[in-house]
Amino acid sequence: MLLARMAEAVYWAGRYLERAEDMARVVKVHGDAHVDLPVGEDVGWGPLLAIAGVEQQFLDRYGIFGTGSPTSGGGSQVVEDQVVEFVLHDRDNLASVLASVSAARDNFRTARPVVPGEVWESCNDLFLDLTEHRHEVATRDGRVRWLRRVISGCQHLNGALWGTMRRDDAMAFVRIGQGLERADLTGRVLAVRAETVVPFAGGDTYDEVRWMATLRSLAAYQPFRRAMPLRHDDGSTLRFLLQDDRFPRAVAACLEEVLDLVTHLPNNGEVVDALSGAALVVADPSVAGLTPERLRALVGRLQLGLAAVHDSLETTYFRPARPAPAPRPEPVEPRILVSGSTLDLRASGRIEAMAHGRIYQVRHRTSYEYDPPVAQSINSAHLRPRNTDRQQCLSHVLEINPTPASATEYLDVFGNYVSTFQVSGRHDRLSVISTSEIQVIPAGSPPAGPAWPTVRSLLEMDRQLAARDARRYRSASRLVPTGGALEDYARESFRPGACLPEALLDLIGRIYRDFAYDPGFTSVTTPLLEVFSARRGVCQDFAHLVIGCVRSMGFAARYVSGYIETLPPAGKPRLVGADASHAWVSVYLPGWGWFDLDPTNDQVVSESHVTTAWGRDYWDVSPLRGTVEGGGQTQRLDVAVDVVRLVEATV
């Protein structure tokens, strides 16, 4: 782990570098908009002060502008030269673009032991060049050239960081700083331009020009057109800038990247909690219905959430009260063997609280063969079962051959155990064997409850921690789209007056009847809508299908990875998916909890199911995923799973 001083320096270097580039782009596009709009339609220069957050400093410096306000949009009394100079290079404005480049340079200098030398040198050259040509901003043409220097210089620095810096904790803190700064700037632009991005009745001829300028100020116009090529609807702009997880300047994408980086840092619990709270702000609302006032309120909550993230980073990594060791995964007790393979249930003192359950041994073997041999492989695995309210992991052993050079275990943002390991040295085979013993009890039956529209309203209004956590599973994810054909299919089950459990059971029954189990038809990369059209797939596809349908109706649904019992009870048919990892879906019922259903077998999840991990879709919880270097053009994968019931547990 980095020294606190180094971690803080690279974090702030990332933030200042991002701030300089983003504000330069905002000022440049704002100036271009003045050229595009006719005389009399000028939007003023005051909004730049609001986006930069320096209105009060400017007023203190230049005084009150009559009855107007620099953020009112008219800006007729705001002098362009004063605003531009103040935002770009005023020596007394510590938030100016030039001051941000200077601060990035100072922090890179402090962090020189962990940052490539050429990065600091490039940042120093950029600062000197911008200082030498600062007089150019006095004219509009010169200002454009100066701003282009800022943008290209910052992008050059980012390229140098990405191309030469080791992917370690120092790089992680640079990117964390950049991600938080981007999310904050996007929110500020949306708040100031709320009337532009939220369509309203009575708009004028030049609304389209202002709308395009807002997107261009966030480098989002072309990506938006690619993602939504048809004419945008009332909520499409906000959905893209707040919730798109593939555009790197959208708030959701920034927070998701920061979450991914933080989960690899030690002692991350407080930061992950703060990030989850910030992410819920943009994941929760229906942006299509936001008014300008509600959008500004939402951005206000987002900025509070980002401030909480910063504070947690500061107290955890930059100024900790005392040295904090890396968190250790929850320990599990060792096995106590009696008569060869049967656990002494009462000797451990852990079974009394779990009645009428079963004990399983799960052995999951994965092997890769590489041709030609590889120089090294880096892997992450979701193979250790979770502890939940219906199961308890009694023991877990992970055997890796060849012996890894390094191995760690941590909790991801969803609370799953993740094992990461690196195998170095030339090898043509990798074997990973996970052996676990788990006690499982039956799940309770949920109450019928009110009609499903009422339950959906309860989910939207509930501010309890469990409901807030559940709402992160309401939006479309990497592998699971929502709306369209999935919503139409779901509505046949969500009939008027039906309670939510009734609708869910009807939905998985229809999928069981309408879709064929066909292991050879799909792969991990097969799009869900292709599965839906072909009416065939495997357990992973059916889980994704239910999740897409349920989320399309406004409910929270998560993907669950695990296993089901290999040997069926006497006289019962063998369950589909045995002898392999299995997948099902869990839907949140406000006031009750998570309701697990297995659409592949058309049943409620029982004590025959063992839970390993859960997330938004398969991508979050794949059992084993990794990369290889120096070979492995051809790979052969073999997976085998055995689920054996050791004993029927009773009190």
Q: Which residues contact 328 (CB under 8 A, 6 or more apart)?
A: none
3-state secondary structure string across 142-200: HHHHHHHHHHHHHHHHHHHHHHHCCCCHHHHHHHHHHHHHHHHHHHHHHHHCHHHHCCC
- 458 and 596 housed in the same domain: yes
- 511 and 548 housed in the same domain: yes
Whether residue 617 is contained in a domain is answered as: no
Tens of pLDDT, residues 542-577: 999 999 999 999 999 999 999 998 666 566 665 554
Find the CATH number of the domain harbouring 412: 2.60.40.2250
Whether residue 619 is contained in a domain is answered as: no
Whether residue 447 is contained in a domain is answered as: no
With beta carbons less than 8 A apart as the criterion, state whether 357 and 387 touch: no
Lowest mean pLDDT: which of 218-232, 355-369, 471-485, 486-500?
A: 218-232
Query: What is the C-alpha to C-alpha distance for residues 554 and 482, in angstroms, rounded to an integer?
Result: 10
- 128 and 83 housed in the same domain: yes
- 138 and 20 housed in the same domain: yes
Mean predicted confidence (pLDDT) in 307-332 = 68
Tens of pLDDT, residues 425-467: 999 999 999 999 999 988 888 888 889 998 988 888 777 778 8
350 pLDDT above the threshold of 50 = no
Tens of pLDDT, residues 7-29: 999 999 999 999 999 999 999 99
What pLDDT is recorded for position 596? 96
Mean predicted confidence (pLDDT) in 366-395 = 92
In this prediction, what percent of the chain has a pLDDT beyond 70?
Answer: 85
With beta carbons less than 8 A apart as the criterion, state whether 590 and 462 touch: yes
Whether residue 622 is contained in a domain is answered as: no
Q: What is the overall mean pLDDT for the chain? A: 84
Lowest mean pLDDT: which of 339-343, 500-504, 563-567, 573-577?
A: 339-343
- 10 and 139 housed in the same domain: yes
With beta carbons less than 8 A apart as the criterion, state whether 405 and 355 touch: no
pTM confidence score: 0.53
**Residue where one domain finishes, among candidates 273, 302, 327:** 327
58 pLDDT above the threshold of 90 = no
- 277 and 404 housed in the same domain: no
Distances in whole angstroms, Cα of residue 282 to Cα of each of 62, 301, 447, 593: 36, 9, 31, 23
Query: What is the C-alpha to C-alpha distance for residues 228 and 202, in angstroms, rounded to an integer?
Result: 24
DSSP, collapsed to helix, strand or coil, labels residue 279 as helix
Cβ atoms within 10 Å of 113's Cβ, excluding its own: 10
Tens of pLDDT, residues 588-632: 998 889 999 999 999 999 999 999 999 999 999 999 988 888 887
**Residue where one domain finishes, among candidates 142, 164, 186:** 164
Nearest to 82 by CA among 68, 65, 99, 101: 65
What pLDDT is recorded for position 552? 95
- 599 and 582 housed in the same domain: yes
- 295 and 375 housed in the same domain: no
Tens of pLDDT, residues 266-303: 888 889 888 888 888 887 556 667 888 888 888 998 99
What are 430's strand-pairing partners? 368
pLDDT band at 68 (very low <50, low <70, confident <90, very high): very low
Amino acid identity of residue 358, one-letter, is: R
**Residue where one domain finishes, among candidates 327, 347, 371:** 327
What pLDDT is recorded for position 348? 31
Lowest mean pLDDT: which of 251-260, 526-535, 629-638?
A: 629-638
What pLDDT is recorded for position 499? 93
Query: What is the C-alpha to C-alpha distance for residues 51 and 190, in angstroms, rounded to an integer?
Result: 9
Interior/surface letters 549-558, b for 16+ CB within 10 angstroms, e for the rest: bbbbbbbbbb
Tens of pLDDT, residues 146-194: 999 999 999 999 999 999 999 999 999 999 999 999 999 999 999 998 8
With beta carbons less than 8 A apart as the criterion, state whether 198 and 291 touch: yes
Query: Structural domain of residue 639, as residue ranges?
Result: 337-441+627-649
> How many separate domains does the chain show?
4
- 518 and 556 housed in the same domain: yes
What pLDDT is recorded for position 207? 73
What pLDDT is recorded for position 612? 96
pLDDT band at 306 (very low <50, low <70, confident <90, very high): very high
DSSP, collapsed to helix, strand or coil, labels residue 641 as strand
66 pLDDT above the threshold of 80 = no
- 176 and 100 housed in the same domain: no
What pLDDT is recorded for position 45? 78
What pLDDT is recorded for position 356? 54
- 313 and 341 housed in the same domain: no
- 508 and 593 housed in the same domain: yes
What pLDDT is recorded for position 31? 83
Whether residue 615 is contained in a domain is answered as: no
234 Cα distance to chain centroid = 25
Find the CATH number of the domain harbouring 457: 3.10.620.30
Q: Which of 10-14, 311-315, 349-353, 635-639 is most confident?
A: 10-14
User: Which 8-state DSSP code applies to residue 316?
Assistant: I
Nearest to 469 by CA among 605, 284, 611: 284
Whether residue 618 is contained in a domain is answered as: no
326 pLDDT above the threshold of 50 = no
Query: What is the C-alpha to C-alpha distance for residues 130 and 153, in angstroms, rounded to an integer?
Result: 10
Mean predicted confidence (pLDDT) in 391-398 = 93
With beta carbons less than 8 A apart as the criterion, state whether 416 and 330 touch: no
10 Å CB burial of residue 297 (0-12, 13-18, 19+) is middle
329 pLDDT above the threshold of 70 = no
63 pLDDT above the threshold of 80 = no
Which residue in the block uniquely carries the two structure tokens 């949009």?
73
